[in-house]
A and B are shown apart, each in its own frame.
Chain A
Amino acid sequence: MGFPLLSLIIFTPAAGAAVLMFLRSDDAARWTALVVTVLDLALSIVLLAGFDTTTHEMQFTERVPWVPALGITYALGVDGISALFVFLTALLGAVSVLASWVAIERKVKAFMASLLAMQALMLGVFLSLDLFLFYVFWEAMLIPMYLIIGVWGGEGRVYAAFKFFLYTLAGSLLFLVGVITLYFHGGETFDILALMALDLPFQVQSWLFFAFLIAFAVKVPMVPVHTWLPDAHVQAPTAGSIILAGVLLKMGAYGFLRFSLPMLPEASVYFSPLMLALSALAIVYGGLLALAQDDLKKLVAYSSISHMGFVTMGIFALNLRGLEGGILQMFNHGVTTGALFLFVGLIYERTHTRSIADYGGLMKVAPVYTVFLALFTLSSMALPGTNSFVGELLVLSGGFAANLAVGAAAVLGATLGAAYLLGMYRRVALGPPSVGARFKVRDVNAREMVAILPLAVFVLWVGLYPKPFLAIIDASVNHLLTEVHGTEGGQ
């Protein structure tokens, strides 16, 4: 065990949150938060630079006994599945700080501290190699997120915060019982790698699969446990939405990848048709709901449900293209939807309305804004040359290989995506400039540009040259597939 890079990545924002409590002025809080998140981003780039893409083994591992009497270890590690999300979390952390620079006017210190605490916990979730540790991070996230939505949110924030909290809590508590059951089946250890090596009886796997499914499906969210998402998104402040859409939703899918598939392979294979059907449902249903929205944020929120359907579909296609596409799509969705929420936030700060009907002709008054909005809108509908195209193509080809009907439903969902996204763009950016008459809209300033540019870079980079990203996940996905199918003699 060498330099504890992973601990440093987790505890840098945590320490930053602690420091914030002692600061006096709001500006100092903003700058401290920015410095901390940028530092964390730099650390995560160091991590990616040192990441070995040729192996599926856990890298940068750290192990310290924590509660030896119960077999609990403070164990961290990173592999191809988690590496991209560590980076994504750090990137969106810095973007969220920039996004809330002026949007948050009250209790700036507390807000920035919550954001940093949130970031530390999210990084912990992706880096844990111990189920207990994972659960602690996973559940502790509820506290800062509850506050972010509930204190700094919109009109209906209290209701939204409660709904978010209770949904996720109820889901994850069953997961906890599942974890403890697994603990006793695995010879009293919470070590994730040891538990992956287990060969559980099918019946046990099935029960655990459902216990895990509830927790992860709520987070993803999959239809029919998605109803907390539109409320939470609409009420959350911009930074909260970016984190929710960009990182939190990924955790459910990450849970499937890290726990359900390798630990419960037979159940995963057995229940994959169900999961594919739920994914197809989410894709189409989310798309239809998005089509009917007038509220910009709600539209993006429902589109998230649809897009996350692609992710779960890719995962449960249980083949190489599906899984790689799913993971890449998780990253893409984080970048693109995070950016879209940022854009909604930017325009909302200026006009204080999110209703699409109030807009029109933004192109005239804020050309830079609309150009970038076009880029991210096209990315969200998976236009070739953007990041989502690569991801969705892989997912679709994996989905078709797994099940024709599900693949067809996904294509329908992608078409719906084009419809509501282009419709949204047309009504907001094009047409007669109704906005200019009523609102004073200024174009993006330098600070906002700094937040937007890195996201735009990744949209194009992944879209035009996805190889380095796929290389990171490749070895781990291959290994995961042999674990899933290995038990039934390969496929």
Chain B
Amino acid sequence: MTDAALFQSIIASLPEIVVVTGACILLILGQFVRKGQEHFLVSASVAIVLIAALATLLLANEVRPAYSGMFIADRFAVFFKLVFYLATILTFLLSRKYADIEGIGSSSEYYVLLLFALFGMMIMASATDLLSIYVGLELMVLCTYVLTGFMRRERRSNEAALKYVILGAVSTGIFLYGVSLVYGLTGTTQLNAMAQAVTGDPLDPGLLLAVVFIVAGLVFKVGAVPFHMWLPDVYEGAPTTITAFMSVGPKAAGFAVILRVFLNPLVAASDAWIIVAVIAVVTMALGSFVALVQDNFKRLLAYSSIAHAGFAIFGVVAGGQDGIASVMLYMLIYAFMNLGIFGAVIMMRNGDFSGEVINDYAGFARSHPGLALLMLLYLFSLAGIPPTAGFFAKFYVLVALVERGFVLLAVIAVLLSAVAAYFYIRIVMVIYMREPERAFEPALTPMVRATLAFTALGTIGIGLFPAWFLGFAQQSASGG
């Protein structure tokens, strides 16, 4: 690697470098932060992410391959990185008060680990080699393992972390096994070179197997059936802020990799879409039906997130320009509405009030009409009712499906989303149509307020004026 190439590579990966350097500095500075100065941690973390975002946007004007084909900074990556920044910053804002209430507020590790997870996700979005994908993936999940178990004295949190580590390790092993098969059969781990190695020949069944393994490993990260078992327990046990983060950031990162791999002709030629279609249907069905009987809000949102992953996978099945763009737009919109609803759950945690049981929200509209209206907005958006953004996200996936002729899949998708609508409007019912059982005061800080306002703005704004965001997603999809 020449000096010039190295320089170019450093430029291309500048946002990543900013994040990782910032995280390291914060790790050291964090040791000097005394009680009562935790605001510094939040501001510093947000500042680091904002600088990285600025760097990303400044470098977005051209495609920059880097590190000898391991890494690329293209518009596809930029789009996902912006989603990651959004998720991370909002998580920081939501964390401040919540962390105090849970007694984890003064540890800088919490923020540092989130930054490292962000770094891992950014590598995933930009990786063009199975090994760099692996590095990013592993970095991200290692951080989330620790964050899941961050409430050290809480049994649920520990249990969730342990489950997550064990199952996560298995899935990583499966993924690596697939990578090794690919390397053995094609002699390369680079996505592009891999495709060239097999062009024209009838497909090797060994390669198909390898693809199945890789897909299985990735599907674990987005929580699709049959690798979803960890998800409800982890979502329930983890600190709610981390659950919010995981349901948006790492999930989008998983989809970034899946799309990157699926852009690849090797996979396109392997009829893997049939497997993926089955995964999509089963995932959505399981998520939707099991969520019907949940009483715990976090568990319900876990199954809802499974169902949404299923819907987004339909976009992967559709493939092509619109299919990819539809998944990307879905992830962006999902980030807004899901962080919004999690923001509402997080603010309910106050004093001895957990806010995790759906009945805790009984009569919420009576005591806090404004906040109830926001929750109504997020919930109807998650259910996919216009004019919210959630509707447009689903609509575009359906357009992509029908464009490819998968009308039957589109019908299945809408029927399952009708099932899913039931449990969202059930929460609306509890909020609006029940009498309040006890008085409580949500933990509203200016930061939480800002988060809720911003996510609400995104949820309704993208719904009413989707054109710009759609164009952004379409351009980013073609830049990949």
**A-side interface residues toward B, CB under 8 Å?**
65-70, 110, 132, 135-136, 139-140, 142-143, 146-147, 150-151, 157-158, 161-162, 165-166, 169-170, 173-174, 176-177, 180-181, 183-184
Contact = CB atoms under 8 A, between A and B. Distances in A.
A136 B395 CA distance: 11
A358 to B, nearest CB: 28
A17 to B, nearest CB: 12
Nearest to B395: A176
B320 to A, nearest CB: 13
Given A139-B386, A140-B385, A143-B380, A177 B402 contact: yes
20 contacts: A65-B467, A70-B396, A70-B470, A110-B365, A136-B386, A136-B387, A139-B386, A140-B387, A142-B385, A143-B385, A146-B425, A146-B428, A147-B432, A162-B429, A170-B418, A173-B415, A174-B411, A177-B414, A180-B399, A183-B399
Interface string B353-377: 0000000000001000100000010
A174 B414 contact: yes
A169 B421 contact: yes
A140 B386 contact: yes
B283 interface: no
Contacts of B399: 70, 180, 183
Interface in B28-69: none
Given A142-B385, A165-B425, A180-B410, 10 more contacts: A132-B395, A136-B386, A136-B387, A143-B385, A161-B429, A174-B411, A176-B398, A176-B414, A177-B407, A184-B403
Given A142-B385, A162-B425, A166-B421, A177 B410 contact: yes
Contacts of B166: none
Contact of B433 (A143, A158, A177): A158
A140 B389 CA distance: 12
B132 interface: no
Given A68-B467, A136-B387, A146-B425, A173 B417 contact: yes
B474 interface: yes
A68 B467 CA distance: 7
A181 B407 contact: yes
Contacts of A165: 421, 425
A180 B470 contact: no
A135 B380 CA distance: 16
Interface residues of B, number: 34
B480 interface: no
Nearest to A147: B432
A68 B399 CA distance: 14
Given A110-B369, A177-B398, A150 B386 contact: no
B470 A67 contact: yes
B385 A139 contact: yes
B471 interface: yes
Interface of B: 365, 369, 376, 380, 385-387, 391, 395-396, 398-399, 402-403, 407, 410-411, 414-415, 417-418, 421-422, 425-426, 428-429, 432-433, 466-467, 470-471, 474
B466 A173 contact: no
B467 A169 contact: no
Which of A70, A150, A161, A181 counts the most chain B CB atoms within 10 A?
A70
B122 to A, nearest CB: 28
A160 to B, nearest CB: 11
A155 to B, nearest CB: 12
A222 B223 CA distance: 41
Contacts of A176: 395, 398, 414
Contacts of B369: 110
A193 B182 CA distance: 53
B393 to A, nearest CB: 13
Contacts of B410: 177, 180
Which of B410, B421, B433 counts the most chain A CB atoms within 10 A?
B433
A182 to B, nearest CB: 10
A66 B418 CA distance: 27
B3 to A, nearest CB: 43
Contact of A180 (B387, B402, B428, B467): B402
Given A169-B421, A184-B402, A177 B411 contact: yes
